[in-house]
Amino acid sequence: MKHVYECSVRFDDLDAFGHVNNVTFAEYLQEARVDFAHRQLVTGNAPHEGVVVVHQSIDYLAPVPFRTEPLQVHVWITRIGTSSFDLAYEVSDTSMLFARATGVLVAYDVKADRPRPVSPAEREVLERYLEPAP
Amino acid sequence: MPRHVTLVPLRWADMDAYGHVNNVVYLRYLQEARVDMLFVHAPKQGAEQLAEGVVVARHEISYQAQLRFRGEPVRVETWVRRVGNSSFELGYEILDVDDGDRTVYAVASTTLVPYDLDDARPRRVMAEERSVLESFFEPEGPVPGKGKATA
């Protein structure tokens, strides 16, 4: 299963080249990831039981000019480890794929400032979104 | 070959609710360094067309340490990993250098494509661009780790 986030494009997401700036794609990925996490993943977590990004790659396939229709960001899980997991993302609309991305997240105890194990409840949710890497 | 050095100021709002600089902001620091190198420095060396259009085809970044807001800017070192016919690749480190000690916050690489915005298509790397880029050539510089945590 993949989580789908409807992502609006704001006028000031565009840079002087007239398309959505590369950094803004990383914001879209973040919005999609946080939407997934808050709806599905961390509902039972204490506030200090967070996750941090340790690695990310983004392949930009096509420029996004300004648009009023939202983009879709698909997020899914490609690996679940003891204290980390991998994500894949696609930024698209119904006719076009604009970017593909991957990320590695580490479950993190924000209060203790160190990694923590993925909890059984988190693992159960992550497994439902486990799909092959693109 | 020397690296291009950019000192990037931090803003307090670069930090997120975890009290550290958000992962997306690291890409913004890379962009500040890249723009300084390609749109400010390179034109002075004769490569004037990059500022007219160059697009990012790929980023890869591995986050190695947390950054927190402070008054001093952070250092971004940028170099050239590869120059092809119609693309080139930059390497970066975001770091502090203190008395020769290097604290690296992130290692990253970016593939860039010179782009004709009017025709909406890639173009070849020009000779003067190649010569400026090659003055920062460091093919063996650090690369972002796979990031596959062993755990």
Nearest CA in chain A to B51: A17
Query: Beta-carbon neighbour count of residue A132 at 10 Å?
Result: 7
Candidates A17, A23, A83; nearest CB to B149: A83
In chain A, the N- to C-terminal Cα span, in Å, equals: 13
What is the CA B42 to chain-centroid distance, rounded?
A: 14
pLDDT score of B151 = 39
Residue spans of chain B under pLDDT 50:
147-151
pLDDT score of A126 = 96
CATH for A29: 3.10.129.10
Min distance A78 CA to chain B CA atoms (Å): 12
Q: What is the average per-residue pLDDT within A18-25?
A: 97
Residue to test with chain B: of A56, A60, A111, most B Cβ within 10 A: A56
Phi-psi category of B70—alpha, beta or left, where left has phi over 0 and alpha has psi -120 to 50?
beta
Beta bridge partners of B60: A57, B109
Question: In this complex, do A17 and B55 lie within 8 Å of one another by their Cβ atoms?
Answer: yes
Q: How far apart are the C-alpha atoms of A52 and A31, rounded to whole Å?
A: 14
DSSP, collapsed to helix, strand or coil, labels residue B35 as helix
Candidates A23, A57, A79; nearest CB to B60: A57
Min distance A58 CA to chain B CA atoms (Å): 5
CB pairs under 8 A between A and B: 81
Question: In this complex, do A55 and B27 lie within 8 Å of one another by their Cβ atoms?
Answer: no
CB of B35 less than 8 A from some CB of A: no
Q: How far apart are the C-alpha atoms of A75 and A88, rounded to whole Å?
A: 6
Phi, then psi, of B139 in degrees rounded to 5: -65, -25
Q: What is the average per-residue pLDDT within A99-125?
A: 95
Q: Which ranges in A17-109 belong to alpha helices (H)? A: 22-36
Query: Beta-carbon neighbour count of residue A131 at 10 Å?
Result: 12
B28 neighbourhood in chain A, CB within 8 Å: 23
CB of B149 less than 8 A from some CB of A: yes
Of residues A99 and B146, more confidence is placed in A99
Looking at chain A, the whole-number percentage of residues with pLDDT higher than 90 is 89
Chain segment A1-13, per-residue pLDDT in tens: 999 999 999 999 9
Chain segment A72-89, per-residue pLDDT in tens: 999 999 999 999 999 999
Containing structural domain, residue A96: 3-128
Contacts of B117 (CB under 8 A, 6+ apart): A17, A18, B52, B53
Residue spans of the domains in chain B: they are 4-134
CB of B145 less than 8 A from some CB of A: yes
Question: In this complex, do B148 and A58 lie within 8 Å of one another by their Cβ atoms?
Answer: no
Question: In this complex, do A60 and B63 lie within 8 Å of one another by their Cβ atoms?
Answer: no
A58 neighbourhood in chain B, CB within 8 Å: 58-60
Chain segment A37-69, per-residue pLDDT in tens: 999 887 778 888 899 999 999 999 999 999 999
Question: In this complex, do B63 and A53 lie within 8 Å of one another by their Cβ atoms?
Answer: yes
pLDDT score of B147 = 46
Q: Residue A120: pLDDT band by 50, 70, 90 thresholds?
A: very high
pLDDT score of B146 = 60
pLDDT score of B118 = 87
In chain B, the N- to C-terminal Cα span, in Å, equals: 37
In a domain, A67, yes or no: yes
pLDDT score of A52 = 95
Number of folded domains that form chain A: 1
pLDDT score of B148 = 42
Q: pTM for the whole thing?
A: 0.94
In a domain, A31, yes or no: yes
pLDDT score of B120 = 87
CB of B49 less than 8 A from some CB of A: no
Phi-psi category of A122—alpha, beta or left, where left has phi over 0 and alpha has psi -120 to 50?
alpha
Please provide the CATH number assigned to the domain covering B4-134: 3.10.129.10
pLDDT score of B48 = 87
